[in-house]
Amino acid sequence: MCYSKMEKREVKEWIGIILLAIFLVVIIRTFILDNRIVPTPSMVPTIQPGDRLFVEKITHRFKELERGEVIVFVSPEQSNMKEDFIKRLIGLPGDIIEIKDSTLFVNGEPLDEPYLAEPMQYSLTERKVPEGKFFALGDNRNRSYDSHEWGFAEITSIKGKALYTYWPISRRKYWK
């Protein structure tokens, strides 16, 4: 079977396009944007199990993290989990966290949390977030395996911030 020069050039062009596409996907997924399927109800009602969302991986490296952001991070060793976690960032280094009478206090001030599934049914004695660490909780506090159980996580473990819930379509949402 003999191919013409035109056919060979076309095949080379297609191979080049496919290799470029693969390269771009790897770069984007590694450094810029990733997608996640939420496996648990720990963030209900904000995020439902099975929701699919994009996680952006850049801004947290150049801009300070803000309390209240929904983040994705490597599960801390003390959690004995293998999957990444998606939780709400509650405490930054130096913050003092306390939970009493179903209310979360950060630095002695009650935190307004309209996103909670229900009032917390547990308490947490005052704890100071160490340097290089953070404190994160799920919005479904009574059914979330989070910092109130396993403690602090390394800031360097943060992979990114929730950017956009894209599925199901009825729950599409841009995150701050």
Catalytic residue, from 5, 75, 79, 87: name it. 87
Q: Is 87 a catalytic residue?
A: yes
Q: Is 159 a catalytic residue?
A: no
* Contact by Cβ (8 Å): 161, 69: yes
Q: Which pair of tokens denotes residue 161?
A: 């911030």
Catalytic residue, from 5, 12, 42, 123: name it. 42
Q: Phi first, then psi: what are they for 147, rounded to 5°?
A: -60, -25
* 104 DSSP assignment: E
* Contact by Cβ (8 Å): 126, 95: no
Cis previous bond, 76, omega within 30: no
Using DSSP's 3-state secondary structure scheme, residue 161 falls into strand
Whole-angstrom distance, CA of residue 70 vs CA of residue 79: 19
Active-site residue list: 42, 87
